[in-house]
Amino acid sequence: MKKVLITDGVHDLLVEGLKNAGFVLDYFPDIKLDEVKRIIHDYCAIVINTKTVMDKDMIDRADKLKLIVRLGSGLDIIDLEYAKKKNIVVRNTPEGNRNAVAEHALGLLLSLFNNIVASNVELKNMQWNREKNRGIELDGKTIGIIGFGNTGSQFAKKLSGFDVKILAFDKYKQRFADNLRYVEETTIDLILKESDIISLHVPLTKETLYFFNSDFIAKMKKEFYLINTSRGKVVNTKDLLEGLKAGKIKGAVLDVLENEKINSFSDRELKEYKDLNSMQNVLITPHIAGWTKESKIKISELVLKNILNFC
Residue 242 buriedness (CB in 10 A; 0-12 / 13-18 / 19+): middle
- Name the catalytic one among 35, 223, 260, 294: 260
Compute the radius of gyration of the chain from its Cα atoms.
21
DSSP one-letter code for 171: T
Task: Mark whether 231 is an active-site residue.
Answer: yes
300/254 Cα distance (integer angstroms) = 26
- Name the catalytic one among 122, 184, 287, 301: 287
Task: Mark whether 287 is an active-site residue.
Answer: yes
State the alpha helices, DSSP H only, in 114-257: 116-124, 150-158, 188-194, 214-219, 237-246
DSSP one-letter code for 276: H
Q: Which residues contact 36 (CB under 8 A, 6 or more apart)?
A: 5, 7, 46, 52, 58
Q: Which residues contact 80 (CB under 8 A, 6 or more apart)?
A: 90
- Name the catalytic one among 231, 258, 269, 272: 231
Residue 301 buriedness (CB in 10 A; 0-12 / 13-18 / 19+): middle
Question: What residue type is 3 in one-letter code?
Answer: K
Q: Which residues contact 117 (CB under 8 A, 6 or more apart)?
A: 111, 283
CA 115 to each of CA 68, 118, 121: distance values in angstroms, whole numbers, following the listed order: 42, 5, 10
CA neighbours closer than 13 Å in the CB half-sphere of residue 191: 25
Catalytic center residues: 231, 260, 287
